[in-house]
Each structure stands twice: as C-alpha cells, then as structure tokens.
Amino acid sequence: MKTRFAPAPTGRLHVGNIRTALHNYLLARREGGTFLLRIDDTDRERSREEYVEAIGEDLRWLGLEPDETARQSQRFDRYEEAFEKLRAAGRIYACYETPEELELRRKVLLGRGLPPVYERKDQDAPVPEGRDPHWRFRLDHDAPIEWEDRIRGVQKFDPRLISDPVVRRADGSWLYMLPSVVDDMDLGITHVVRGEDHVTNSAIQLQMFDALGARRPVLAHEALLVAAEGKLSKRLGSVGVEEMKARGLEPMALLSLLARIGTSQPVEPMDDLDRLAQGLDFAHFGRAPAHFDMAEVEALNAKLLHAASYEEVADRLPDEIGEAHWQALRGNIAHLAEAADYVPIFTGEIDAPEPSEEDRTFLETAANLAEGLPFDDGIWSALTAALKEETGRRGKALFLPLRLALTGRSSGPEMAAMLPLIGKERAVRRLLRR
C-alpha cells in the first residue's frame, strides 16, 4: 500500500488538509505501507519555496513525517511524455476559445435549461489567427465511469454530462488533472483519500488512468469539514499549525479530533499515532459534513496533559518543575506553558492578597503550628486538622485563607500535593507575610 498527501505550496496547512494528510498517513501506517508527500508546485507564479519548507515543518510538528517526497516541478518531462502519448491516441485535442467566449456559451446553455458542458468543435475547423491553443482531454462518452468508493459506496458518472477538462494552458503550463494521474501512476500510489469536492475530478482521472494503461487507485472521498457554527469550510482556512502552536496545543489533541470527527467512532484523547491508525475504519465514516470545533481540541488537550507522564513532557517543562511538581500540577494544566506560571509558587515569591485582620491572626496560628510539624506528604492533613481543633474553623473559612497565603491563588492543584513542595521555610514565611 502507498498513499500520498499532495498540497500546493501556496500557503500554510490548515485543518482541512491536515485531516487529509492524517487519514492517508494512518492508512499507510495501519497496513505497513508508505506515505508520500508530493509537492504540487506546477503553478510557478503562486508556489513559494517558503511554503514548501513550512509544509515540511508543519508535518514534522504533527508527527506525520513522510516516508518519501516528490515535487511536480521536477517531473515536467514525464508529463510531456504522457501528454504526447494521449495526443497521439486522439485523447488530447487543441481548443482555441477565449475565456469570454466560453463564459458566453455557458450562459446560453444555462438559459436553455441545458447542462453547461463544453461542446466539442470540429477538429478540421480553421484555426483562429493569432491564438495559441489550450488542450483538453477527450472523455470517452461510450464508457460510463464507475468505482466502489471506500466511503461513498458505488459511484457512477455519465461522461457526457462532464466537460472535457483542460489539462494544459495556452502558455504550456499544466493544470492539476494530468500531472496528478501521471504521478500516481509512476510513484505507485495504490490508495487516494481526499475530500468529496474531488469526486468529479476522480471520475475524469479514472478515464486518464485507463487511457494511459495504468492501474486505478482505490479511492475514498470524505465529507468536508465545516466550522462548528455551520459556516463553510473556507472559514477554517486560517486554523492551522501556526494557530495551534500559538495556543500551546499538543499535536495529538488536534489529530485525535481530526481522526474521528465525521465518523461513528467516539472522539477520544489518543497519545499515540499507532493507536489512531489501528482504529481507522472507513466503514465508520459518514456522508454528512464533519463539524470542527476548536473547543473540542482544547478539551482533548487538557485530557491528554492530565494523563501525561513526566517523561512525556519533561523536555518541554521549566527546569524548576520536576516529576513531583508535574504530578501535583498536571490535573490543573490545560496548556503545557501554564506550568511555568507555578514556578514562583515552588521556588520564588508570590503576590498574595492582603488578608483581613481576622485571617491574619488565623494565619499566624497556622505558621506556629506548621513550625512544629514534619513537612512530609501528610503535612496538609496534619496542619488543617490542628488548625480546625485550635480555631474551630471549617470548610472554606479554613482552607481558602491558607491557599491564598501559600500560593496567591484561590483555586488550583490539591494543596496536599503542593505544600510539601513549597517547603516549611517558605510556607511559614508566607503565612507570616514576611
């Protein structure tokens, strides 16, 4: 098995094409196959080398590194060969209409209630003077197009209702259709997973595979992503790796969601791509649009961090946060960067609110009691039990002034885990406001 992800280097990756890359990656990984990154850079005007590099960086950050890479800009000779082969077989022909003429004819057909399908011209007609041709692939109208789609089931197209596609512009540059087929053929692509907006493209390209004598790949067209509020997926174009990094999100939070939304399988926080790969099953993919919600990514991110071991995150934590600190904090961390906010509580100075006069006396009592207690794992229970007996305070009146004085926060990780890490000397000093 060999799959591919084929972005054009005209921008950064966003969640829609990240999802496509992920499903192709997982399919190859599940079957022990190969995942190819193909850079579709035939459009020389819009393609940028900086985006080629950015796509590679984004895939590395996501953990979706390809086994092989290819660039269409290095394969123009092969496209030329296939073009000439199809032209010699009568499957590619020259056309001379201007865009304006084509648009006018399209409107005329629509006005008559007819499908706006390109009308083939007599190839013996005189060539308009001063015009260079663009080139179209001649669909075989006598060969209905049919395939078993892994997601959409049996797909059938009448080629007479599809315009012969332009494969090459008048300036000699290539459009998407033919180069993609030649690449899939030459590079041994066996399975193609992509969005349902490519279904008609696939119908056309299957005839190109047949005309070139190539094996057809297995196809799976997944429903498109839409934003949670129901807007079109174009609204999601700005949601990508850059935003994920800016939010401090874990790659697996995003991938856990993208792997499962739009399926009947539950969305769960997964910390391993192999687990996601083993769970990939196109039989569970639905036909309805898949709703992407950043809040779900945030929730998965928190769940992943709450379950993360120290070893999994140690290299990204501040030096002051050791394993015991992480065990105390992780249940209250939604983004890993938040761990740095707790460093002053353990090793520095905090800005605690000024207590009331009554609470000040209470905290002095707490300091005196703390001085005589061992600062082991049971210090919080011992201290609060002694204070309850000494002052009669219970509940919030007992716990909140202590938490505020010791951490500067009204909520957070369990004090039973925090207080031993703060240490006796620092704790007593904070209780006495020194």
The per-residue pLDDT for range 273-284, each reduced to its tens digit, is 999 999 999 999
Model confidence pLDDT, tens digit, residues 266-314: 999 999 999 999 999 999 999 998 889 999 999 999 999 999 999 999 9
Which structure tokens are listed for 214? 């190539």
Q: Report d(CA 204, CA 213) in Å as an integer.
A: 15
**Full DSSP string of 137-176:** E---TTS-EEEEETTTEEEEE-GGGSPPPEEE-TTS-B-S
The beta strands (E) that lie in 276-383 are given as 290-292
Residues 339 and 378 in one domain: no
User: Looking at the predicted structure, is the pLDDT value of residue 124 above 90?
Assistant: no
Q: Report d(CA 20, CA 4) in Å as an integer.
A: 9
Q: Report d(CA 329, CA 339) in Å as an integer.
A: 7
CA distances from 330 to 142, 304, 409 (A): 64, 10, 16
Q: Which of 293, 288, 290 is nearest to 20 (CA)?
A: 290
Model confidence pLDDT, tens digit, residues 214-251: 999 999 999 999 887 654 444 566 688 888 888 899 99
Model confidence pLDDT, tens digit, residues 359-394: 999 999 999 999 999 999 999 999 999 999 999 999
- Taking phi over 0 as left and psi of -120 to 50 as alpha, with beta for the rest, 132 belongs to beta
Residue 177 contacts residue 165 (beta carbons within 8 Å): yes
Residue 121, annotated as binding a ligand? no
Helix (H) or strand (E) holding 222: strand 218-222
Residues 363 and 414 in one domain: yes
Model confidence pLDDT, tens digit, residues 131-147: 999 999 999 999 999 99
Which structure tokens are listed for 318? 């501040």
Beta bridge partners of 263: 285
Phi and psi, residue 330, nearest 5°: -60, -30
The reply to whether 15 falls in a domain is no
**345, 371, 389 - which closes a domain:** 345
Phi and psi, residue 375, nearest 5°: -90, 70
- Measured from the Cβ of residue 60, the count of other Cβ atoms closer than 10 Å reads 13
Residues 6+ apart with CB under 8 A from 80: none
Q: Report d(CA 425, CA 262) in Å as an integer.
A: 55
Q: Which of 373, 366, 431, 434 is nearest to 405 (CA)?
A: 431
The reply to whether 157 falls in a domain is no
User: Looking at the predicted structure, is the pLDDT value of residue 322 above 60?
Assistant: yes
Residue 363 contacts residue 401 (beta carbons within 8 Å): yes
Residue 354, domain CATH: 1.10.10.350
pLDDT number for residue 230:
54
Residues 416 and 403 in one domain: yes
pTM of this structure: 0.90
pLDDT number for residue 39:
97
pLDDT number for residue 229:
66
The reply to whether 141 falls in a domain is no
Helix (H) or strand (E) holding 386: helix 379-391
Residues 363 and 411 in one domain: yes
What total number of domains does the chain contain? 2
Under the banding of pLDDT at 50, 70 and 90, the label for residue 197 is very high
The reply to whether 385 falls in a domain is yes
CA distances from 92 to 98, 101, 140 (A): 18, 21, 11
Which structure tokens are listed for 374? 């061992």
Least confident piece of the model among 28-32, 40-44, 82-86, 326-330: 40-44
Residues 332 and 402 in one domain: no
**287, 321, 345 - which closes a domain:** 345
The reply to whether 421 falls in a domain is yes
CA distances from 288 to 201, 225, 275 (A): 20, 9, 25
User: Looking at the predicted structure, is the pLDDT value of residue 354 above 80?
Assistant: yes
pLDDT number for residue 243:
86
Model confidence pLDDT, tens digit, residues 406-427: 999 999 999 999 999 999 999 9
Model confidence pLDDT, tens digit, residues 81-98: 999 999 999 999 999 999
Residue 169 contacts residue 175 (beta carbons within 8 Å): yes
The reply to whether 325 falls in a domain is yes
- Taking phi over 0 as left and psi of -120 to 50 as alpha, with beta for the rest, 149 belongs to beta
Residues 358 and 335 in one domain: no
Q: Which of 76, 242, 74, 102 is nearest to 172 (CA)?
A: 76
Q: What is the dihedral of CA 94, 86, 117, 149, to 10 degrees?
A: -160
The reply to whether 27 falls in a domain is no
pLDDT number for residue 415:
97
- Measured from the Cβ of residue 98, the count of other Cβ atoms closer than 10 Å reads 12
Under the banding of pLDDT at 50, 70 and 90, the label for residue 128 is confident
**328, 345, 362 - which closes a domain:** 345
pLDDT number for residue 122:
79
Q: Which of 185, 100, 177 is nearest to 135 (CA)?
A: 177
Positive/negative CA dihedral, 229, 235, 236, 241? negative
Residues 331 and 382 in one domain: no
The reply to whether 10 falls in a domain is no
pLDDT number for residue 240:
85
Q: What is the average pLDDT across 322-332?
A: 97
Residues 337 and 377 in one domain: no
User: Looking at the predicted structure, is the pLDDT value of residue 3 above 60?
Assistant: yes
Range of the domain at 421: 349-431
